[in-house]
Amino acid sequence: MFELIVIVILIAVVILLMRVFRSFMIRRSKINLGVIQILNDGALVETLNKDIMASSDLPFNGSVKASFFASYLTLRESGFSANHYGLVSAYLFKWETEGILQTEMTKDSLVYLTFIDEQKPTAEIELELYEILKSNGIEDGGYIERTVLHDWSKKILALGEQELLETGDVAFDQKNRIRFTRQGYNKSLSHPSFEKYFEHLSSTTFNEMDDQRQLQELSFALLLDLTEEIAEIIEPSSSETPEILKIANRVWRIFKEEMRG
C-alpha cells in the first residue's frame, strides 16, 4: 500500500514538472529565443529577440485569422501549437463589445459569462463557435474539451492560410509543405515586435487611444497571450479605467488555467 502511494505521488510530481517545463518553454520561446524558420525556398533564417524592435503596428494588417495562422507556422517547427484559448478569448472580447454577451468578475477573480439571447454573431465561423460554447455550458462554468476548440480553430487556420496565400506571405515548398515566403517571414516578426511594445504600454498611453485602436490592440494582446500585461495596465485606484480594458481583463480569465496549461 505504501509503495502504491509513493508511486502515485511520483506520478503527480512528474506531471506537475512537465506542465511547469512546458509553460516555461512556451514563454522562453516567445520572449527570449526569437524566431527561426525554414522558408519555402529552403533558406534557414533566424532573428534573435534582441534584434527585434518594439512596434505598435498591428500584425498582418489587423487580421486575427492571418495572424493566428502565422503564429501556427512560427511555433510549428518547435513542436508547439498556436494559442487556441487566446483565439477564443479574442472572439469573446469582440462579442462583449458588440453586446452579444456579458461578463462579470467576482471578488475572487472568478468570471461568469452570460449570453444575451437576442444577439448572435452574424459571421458563420463565429456563429459556430458561439453554438459550441453555449452547448458545452460555458455560461455555467462548463469545461470545454480542448479537442472541440482545436477542431473549430482548424477552420480559422484554413481561413488564415488562404489569406496569406493570396498576399504571397506563404507558399508551398518542393515537398508541398506550406512555409513562409521571405516577405511573410519579415511580416511574422510583427508578432514579437507588438509583444515588446505592449509589454511596456502604460495606462496613460492606452487611455489616449481612440476606442477603435483600443479594441484592436486588446484583441491582439488576447490572441498573443499578453494577459498579464493587460492586467498591469489597469490602475486599481483609478475610476477612469476604460470599460473596454476591464472587459479584456475579465475575458481572458475565463480560460486562465487552460491558457497556462
Percent of the chain at pLDDT > 70 equals: 83
Interatomic CA distance for residues 66 and 70, integer angstroms: 6
Does residue 125 lie in a domain region? yes
| Residues 35 and 46: beta-carbon distance below 8 Å | yes
pLDDT for position 117: 79
Identify the CA nearest to 206 among candidates 249, 166, 164.
249
Does residue 161 lie in a domain region? yes
Does residue 134 lie in a domain region? yes
pLDDT for position 8: 54
In the chain, the number of structural domains is 1
Q: Which helix (H) or strand (E) holds 150?
A: helix 146-167
Q: What domain range includes position 233?
A: 33-260
Does residue 68 lie in a domain region? yes
Burial zone of 217 (CB within 10 Å; 0-12 exposed, 13-18 middle, 19+ buried): buried
Query: Strand, coil or helix: what is 37?
Result: strand
pLDDT for position 138: 81
Interatomic CA distance for residues 9 and 231, integer angstroms: 35
Does residue 24 lie in a domain region? no
Does residue 13 lie in a domain region? no
For the segment 92-140, what is each residue's pLDDT rounded down to a tens digit? 999 999 999 999 988 887 888 899 978 899 999 999 999 999 888 787 7
Q: Spell out, as residue ranges, where the chain has pLDDT lower than 50.
A: 20-32, 260-261
Does residue 26 lie in a domain region? no
The packing angle between helices 243-251 and 211-223, to 10°, is 10
| Residues 64 and 219: beta-carbon distance below 8 Å | yes
Interatomic CA distance for residues 55 and 51, integer angstroms: 13
Does residue 216 lie in a domain region? yes
